[in-house]
Structure 1
Amino acid sequence: MNSAILTFESANFGQLEMTSLTEDARWQAVQARDAESDGKFVFAVSSTGVYCRPSCPSKRPRRENVTFYRLPKEAESAGFRACLRCRPQAMSGNPQQEMVKAVCRYIEQRLDESLTLAHLGKEFHQSPFHLQRTFKAVLGITPKEYANSCRMRGFRQKLKAGHSVTRAMHEAGYSSTSRLYSRTASELGMEPAKYRRGAIAAPIRYTFADSPLGRILIAATNKGICSIQFAESDDELEQGLKHEFPYASRRRDDEGMADLTASLMRHMR
């Protein structure tokens, strides 16, 4: 199961990029033999049993014979073999993804700093505008949002480990309580101290839905969303919610959370 809080270790860059591309966009990339799309996905042709990278020089197949996969291993699991011309199984990813991974590592090592786009741009020899645009195209969030996500993930882990709120705050990279508390209502859905105690008696509503990343569980308190999780089954998701909030009053509410779910799904398409 994957936490909704994104980190470099949990991010599947190929999956995130492919999720952001529509079927039509992928097909257009194949027709254009777009080398920049190499590493984002592969396409398999049912009439030949072969899968290729988008830039493959071979003759373009008929659209109805094409299926897209995130990774070469997924195409192979479906019974397709690698093209001998473009050798898609040897793809090392594209330069944009590699740059974003490097930026992620840099941010993760400096969570106690207020890194600006100008600083990151200078460090990675990019204009601030280009760096942010590339970062968001790959991960779907900005560098600042990524840093906040990493801090909040660390904060949650420290609280679960039994650390005090103050100690967890500093070790996660928050420089002040005001900076932390400005985010906890929207990202924890409750006071940090209550989260640390397993959300005792906190009323939490939750629902399930299908998403581009698999089954999704969305949980919320009256203060806001407290958890978004992904897994292969609803049972696994419910166990994850119980583990994170063991003492909460949990109640499934599909109808009451329908509008919130629809809004989140629109952002994931």
Structure 2
Amino acid sequence: MKLSRITALSSSLLLGAVLALTGAGQAQAAESAAPLDYVALGDSYSSGVGAGSYDSASGDCKRSSKAFPRLWAAANAPSSFSFTACSGAITSDVTGRQLGPLNASTDLVSVSVGGNDAGFADVMTTCILQSEANCINRVNTAKAFVDSTLPGRLDSVYNAISGRAPAAQVVVLGYPRFYKLGGGCLAGLSENERAAINNAADHLNTAIAKRAANHGFDFADVVPYFTNHEICSSASWLHSVNWLNIGESYHPTANGQSGGYLPAFRAKV
């Protein structure tokens, strides 16, 4: 091969490598800079109850600046961000009050819902104030509701989201287990009660994950991220009974939002 052809080939290869590298960089920059419209729906686990720093304008919805949707939006600067998640929301609240920002241009949706439909607050009240037998019976009633009624309610939410935002990626977030079994709690619920409540959380997550998959949505399991950060662990990311602010009981702390919910969401986006 002549020297001139070798030189030309080498130059061509070098130029190609440079173009490939800069092209990849430009494509990556373009991808990161692409407009993204994000809407955060759901209940108190999405609004950030328990994390503090609530937006006074959100009223009883208690949307926190430390909730995972706000943390994700602050880090990723979407072109638009709508935060309609609300404390106490059940499935009909999501469909009836939260879907306004969704449209054909919506790119990303997050949602957590189902726990209140299943009677989460009443389960915990029963378990705290009544006998172990009553606690476990109430847990089993909630699990039966999850099997019989909740799937249809979740379908109504997921169908409504798809109908209004057909092009969006939808990430459905689950719920943590509340207790570290064999942990450091010396009083309160029995170990049987704690195990039953954890089992109910798993049961609920399984049902939500199945409905999400049937709709082509991504399910973000937060349980692995909260492992060793449950109540009765040495570094809990969940409030136990909070007598000063009872509504924060059994909700993630600010660390639970940043260390549990945020990375679970981020792993799917």
Instruction: Please give the range of the TM-score, normalised by the shorter of the 2 chains.
Output: under 0.3
Higher relative contact order (CA 8 A, sep 6+): 2
Normalised to the residue count of structure 1, the TM-score between the two structures is 0.25
Larger radius of gyration: 2
Point out the structure with the larger helix share.
2
